Structure 1
């Protein structure tokens, strides 16, 4: 009978049933973020009520019924968690670009893409804007001439800034910064037009500001002891302050896949905790009285927990660091409870805690790569233990000198294989020599950099930290040399075109099934992974893309995407090329194709479509003539649609729909805008009182234009 078969399956999977709890919970969160609409509060309340009824019912069911009911409830719980989180973090977002005098308190300091200091402000005042519509936080890149002394935690600053809402995708389906900003409660970004000045009201007394002040003070101290790029790297891994890292160094680290050594993650937290654990345990072990009477392992675990918590606070307590601490804390608590420390159960518990606190982290590359690598390492090394050749390398004395190298190589291979598809999906690159870079660089991080850093932190209050921090700098210098060497090798990076979200979901589903399912049926997990790669390979890129301001467009050619201009709109240009899997620069892409470039006018011919014309002038006198001669007319300064059958992309379309993508099939165009208002909080077009033009004057002309 079916019931008997289901009962047999549940019994066979019994040891791993608990591991499916965070998976099903995460599935619900994924469903929430993929919904085409925002669930109304009453829907969430109804689902929460149903979950409570289901929970009460569980106690009246047998084992099989209880498992099935909980399995059905967990995705619903994930949907509710995502919806509630979105409501809790809700904060105003400015509705349009504006220049205004702003004022706020410094709560964060980073560096912009143009290498200028960038501050995060809270307690924001935007003069001329209703306080009820003022964002909770804004981020401003500072103008040259700003006094560095005011870039300190708790300082209240003011200045004239050009602000805009957080940017939408550079193309339909592209990376949507608005969602990230929504959950960070970031309501505006921009740049200062004048040097910032300090005003009355500076406050550094609250706990968050105390931690921020300590972080920045430690960062300055480290960079004073270890000057240059080594000190900037050291302050980044210990305090989270990456504002001093040179862009060239960042590029080398990214190309060589060693950038994960800069971002405070599970590696840093585990290395720091391991260093504290080893120093305390073996330091006490050399004292015979302590070694004979005290539980040194548990004492060391307590100190590692405290040290990790201090690291969490000092480094900024962002979501990635919180996730790292939770995972590390689960392992250390297992040590205190005399339980196996590193198991899939501990990782499952960590994932459940992180997703409960911040459901949005599921959509972020850091969460996905961190847990994928950890799960793969645990499952991979568990599988290796059953192989004769692996056992020989771990037990045979002839392998004792090669054993550390083999371990690091296998760790890099397993973790790299697990994270490569995720990295390719989010960053559109595959590193050819990532294994080599990690094999050469990671040992220095674990053996030299982090232990020296921990000793330096311990000795800092006594003024004796110069030597360990200097040693740390030597290790960092070696890592940066490795990064520069690997990134300079020919073909270090291969571009990968963007794929659909369903591909990433299927890859993760197949990988989880391979690891968690018991029995030969686990190999069924290969099927969704193969389907994911097929869908990825077949996913079509747009034939034409127009930037959200209309001043840049790109056309797909046999050589790759050809861009209309060689500079300007750098972010959009880089995003399009990356999503194409194209490693060319904007200037190289602009040299492709056949563009007729004149003052305020650019024209090119697209096979199967016809001419695409860009007009930068404000005068619409030539509108009818241009539209009659073009298949697509881009005029970002025109609001009224000219007569004719061309596809007209003007100011209103760009304002309300953002970047435009066009797919061509047998002479017919399928058009999609990037800013489709799906009703999600981060996609809504906020109305803060600005008078808008009537978008109804700008409707597509030809009947062949479809909505994708």
Structure 2
């Protein structure tokens, strides 16, 4: 059975790699394949694979059909529905999920997109989870940044069932309609519990962590804390998942069993193990409800249900059969679950534990067995962590050896009991909550100290599929019992992690230019054979997300780059230098130039001035603006950089406007001719004068903008002006990251548009229409 389940899951996973969905008519093969699976034993594996593929396709077709119609993009539409999540409080806004019942535009009803994500610039106290509202909103389809090594935000939203996102417009017609359906009342209860925790721990230091542990509300956990958890391999302790459901289920099983056995007439009617199993299931379901039945808790509850069913039915399931049943149920109910790293990590962790328990028996001391188990789990999860997190924290086994018992035996029971008692008797409930807060504060302090020395094994950026296969097989061999042949070859198969080919770099005289997709901002990377230059660091969107640490750093590391010789910041605006702190905090930067050096506060910067030039690996870099002694301010102070070799040149212009363009035409007319230009100031109406466009005369003109941004960039008449000059205009909002290779031998190779190259069936491929958002 287990191998057939694995085939079914593999089929569902295979569907997620498709760029487009199969024809819906193929879904009629599902009943035929099911009959073939039941009748022909030898054909079960391929039938299971195809069944998984088509079942996932069926689920995906349902999701794609509820997409927002293009004619409603960035339009004021009226929606009615229910707040279906905890409102998340941010600086000046509230974010929440909204289940749409009706969608109306110009007195015409459209099909509901289902679940959407909204921001509202309003006092959060006015919003209660579970309430129905009539709102005027502006929506757009799920559209994230598309960059090599970047997070697939669109895929994540698709997996969450969110089909659009936007914000609430100021409108006197916005009003509460009353309480929503019963199925949404749970979130209202969770919001009340959140208020109780916040009230009880007004002076506490870890209220945000306790809210994450009790009700699954992680919105208040800061980026610094998540970084510590990631570096120490303890992030699984904060997100309510299998471990937490298992802890509560186990405690409930023990308590119900002990109580049941003491009352004979109860034990006669229902055996204590069965009663305890039902109690464990109810307790696990209750904890999952507190977490809002999030997707990880749903997975954990399904696994607990399979175990409970085995106990009640007195079925003697092998561990592999129980794991297979749970795996099958999860993928049947949610085929897109295979997109989640948590799906694979949770099931792999259970599989590794089952393997360890199956042959590591005997009268060993508890401590010795616990230490061995942590090493076993760490080694077993290493391939998945290398693939999804690009690193394995070496401190994780040691830290988890102490942290798991601390959370299981003290922190989680104290936090839950304190919260539940506080609902009816706040004075008594305060004591365990404060105790949990005190323990969590100590734990967080210790993690922060350990995270200062982030010892980890990083995934090489150049491993091929075959080399990854060797690594996975090698780890499987190392997990074999002592005495079984194959453990030494397992070590040999791990050599690709050490003896791997260096990351691909340009040849002498070549350079690669990449304009990254950072939304409404700019960040570009120029790489020669031995040097790297970064032009602008993109915007900082919040305290927890900025283009430097979340877009630039993953891209550089994927390219095998750990050092940036020069960082140029065109000007001091947030959309160009907001990500500086995130970049320099994780990547070594040797020198910084800026058009407004006085506005750079994160590091020491020098002024960029016309006449500066240098040669790296046969590639020439020249600063063309500002001129010596000139005192430009704002957009026109932007550094203008020219990069050239025998194949052609790139002109990177920052935010310059018409005045700076005229100065460049007057002083550098002969040097302005370029193969590729980044369109000044995101193709605004105040830049790209006709004279400047004629002088540059590029083959490609690149705009760095946010999708449906509120400024309406790039302006249509500016795009037409560049196209009239013969340039092909590309926009990061439509194309994702855009890359070119300038080769003296092969000329200019590109463009490589990441949104099209890396697309999946859920990827939004926008049309070339524009509008402000």
Equivalent residue number for residue 202 of structure 1: 178
CA shift, 1:676, in A, is 1.3
- Structure 1 CA distance, aligned partners of 2:127 and 2:433? 27
Equivalent residue number for residue 248 of structure 2: 272
Equivalent residue number for residue 641 of structure 2: 603
Q: Deviations over 1:59-117 (max 9, x none)?
A: xxxxxxx1x30011111001111110112223123649737476553211364887953
- Structure 2 CA distance, aligned partners of 1:648 and 1:535? 41
Equivalent residue number for residue 424 of structure 1: 386
- Structure 1 CA distance, aligned partners of 2:669 and 2:152? 37
- Structure 1 CA distance, aligned partners of 2:649 and 2:592? 13
Q: Is the 8 A contact 1:272 1:454 kept in 2?
A: no
Equivalent residue number for residue 650 of structure 2: 612
State the SS of the aligned residue for 2:308. Answer: helix
CA shift, 1:430, in A, is 3.3
Correspondence for 1:633 among 672, 677, 695: 677
Q: Is the 8 A contact 1:335 1:341 kept in 2?
A: no
Q: Deviations over 1:24-82 (max 9, x none)?
A: 1121112212234320111232x325414524642xxxxxxx1x300111110011111
Is residue 2:520 matched to residue 1:553? no
Residues 485 and 174 of structure 1: is their aligned pair in 2 closer, same or farther, counting only changes over 3 Å?
A: closer
Equivalent residue number for residue 214 of structure 1: 189
Is residue 2:519 matched to residue 1:544? no
Q: Is the 8 A contact 2:418 2:430 kept in 1?
A: yes
Equivalent residue number for residue 229 of structure 2: 253
- Structure 2 CA distance, aligned partners of 1:30 and 1:524? 32
Q: Is the 8 A contact 2:213 2:238 kept in 1?
A: yes
Correspondence for 1:565 among 520, 536, 539: 536
- Structure 2 CA distance, aligned partners of 1:528 and 1:88? 46
Residues 515 and 283 of structure 1: is their aligned pair in 2 closer, same or farther, counting only changes over 3 Å?
A: farther
CA shift, 1:248, in A, is 3.5
Is residue 2:230 matched to residue 1:230? no
Correspondence for 1:649 among 689, 699, 702: 702
State the SS of the aligned residue for 1:430. Answer: strand
- Structure 2 CA distance, aligned partners of 1:504 and 1:153? 50
Q: How many residues align?
A: 647
Equivalent residue number for residue 434 of structure 1: 396
Residues 341 and 53 of structure 1: is their aligned pair in 2 closer, same or farther, counting only changes over 3 Å?
A: closer
Q: Is the 8 A contact 2:462 2:503 kept in 1?
A: yes
Equivalent residue number for residue 72 of structure 1: 46
Equivalent residue number for residue 38 of structure 1: 21
- Structure 2 CA distance, aligned partners of 1:191 and 1:198? 13
Q: Is the 8 A contact 2:261 2:267 kept in 1?
A: yes
Equivalent residue number for residue 55 of structure 2: 81
- Structure 2 CA distance, aligned partners of 1:560 and 1:442? 44
Residues 513 and 256 of structure 1: is their aligned pair in 2 closer, same or farther, counting only changes over 3 Å?
A: closer
Q: Deviations over 1:588-635 (max 9, x none)?
A: 667658774753553153778664322345769989969963343221
- Structure 2 CA distance, aligned partners of 1:259 and 1:495? 18
State the SS of the aligned residue for 2:178. Answer: coil
Residues 359 and 119 of structure 1: is their aligned pair in 2 closer, same or farther, counting only changes over 3 Å?
A: same
CA shift, 1:308, in A, is 1.2
CA shift, 1:415, in A, is 2.0
Q: How does 1:135-146 map to 2 (within 5 A)?
A: 135-143=113-121, 145-146=122-123
Equivalent residue number for residue 484 of structure 1: 448
Structure 1, unmatched stretches of 5+, are: 1-17, 59-65, 386-390, 693-708
Equivalent residue number for residue 685 of structure 1: 765
State the SS of the aligned residue for 1:202. Answer: strand
CA shift, 1:325, in A, is 0.8
Equivalent residue number for residue 48 of structure 1: 30
State the SS of the aligned residue for 1:585. Answer: helix
TM-score by length of 1: 0.78
Correspondence for 1:28 among 3, 11, 15: 11
Q: How does 1:60-139 map to 2 (within 5 A)?
A: 66=41, 68-90=42-64, 91-93=66-68, 95=70, 98=74, 100=76, 103=79, 105-109=82-86, 111=88, 117-123=94-100, 125=103, 131-132=109-110, 135-139=113-117
- Structure 1 CA distance, aligned partners of 2:345 and 2:357? 18
Is residue 2:419 matched to residue 1:469? no
Is residue 2:718 matched to residue 1:659? no
- Structure 2 CA distance, aligned partners of 1:236 and 1:248? 15
CA shift, 1:118, in A, is 1.4
CA shift, 1:353, in A, is 0.7
State the SS of the aligned residue for 1:605. Answer: strand
Q: Is the 8 A contact 2:37 2:48 kept in 1?
A: no
Q: Which has the higher contact order (CA 8 A, sep 6+)?
A: 1
Q: Deviations over 1:280-310 (max 9, x none)?
A: 2234456688789963232211111111122
- Structure 1 CA distance, aligned partners of 2:117 and 2:670? 41
Residues 686 and 637 of structure 1: is their aligned pair in 2 closer, same or farther, counting only changes over 3 Å?
A: closer
Correspondence for 2:754 among 659, 666, 674: 674
Is residue 2:303 matched to residue 1:303? no
Residues 202 and 677 of structure 1: is their aligned pair in 2 closer, same or farther, counting only changes over 3 Å?
A: farther
Equivalent residue number for residue 699 of structure 1: none
Q: Is the 8 A contact 2:645 2:742 kept in 1?
A: no
Task: State which drifts further: 561-570 or 367-376.
Answer: 561-570
Correspondence for 1:415 among 377, 399, 406: 377
- Structure 2 CA distance, aligned partners of 1:168 and 1:536? 32
State the SS of the aligned residue for 2:22. Answer: coil
TM-score by length of 2: 0.72
Residues 197 and 373 of structure 1: is their aligned pair in 2 closer, same or farther, counting only changes over 3 Å?
A: farther
Q: Is the 8 A contact 2:471 2:497 kept in 1?
A: no
Residues 322 and 26 of structure 1: is their aligned pair in 2 closer, same or farther, counting only changes over 3 Å?
A: same
Residues 28 and 682 of structure 1: is their aligned pair in 2 closer, same or farther, counting only changes over 3 Å?
A: same
- Structure 1 CA distance, aligned partners of 2:259 and 2:39? 53
- Structure 1 CA distance, aligned partners of 2:305 and 2:320? 14
- Structure 2 CA distance, aligned partners of 1:506 and 1:299? 45
- Structure 2 CA distance, aligned partners of 1:102 and 1:516? 57
Q: Is the 8 A contact 2:200 2:430 kept in 1?
A: yes
- Structure 2 CA distance, aligned partners of 1:566 and 1:477? 34
Equivalent residue number for residue 147 of structure 2: 171
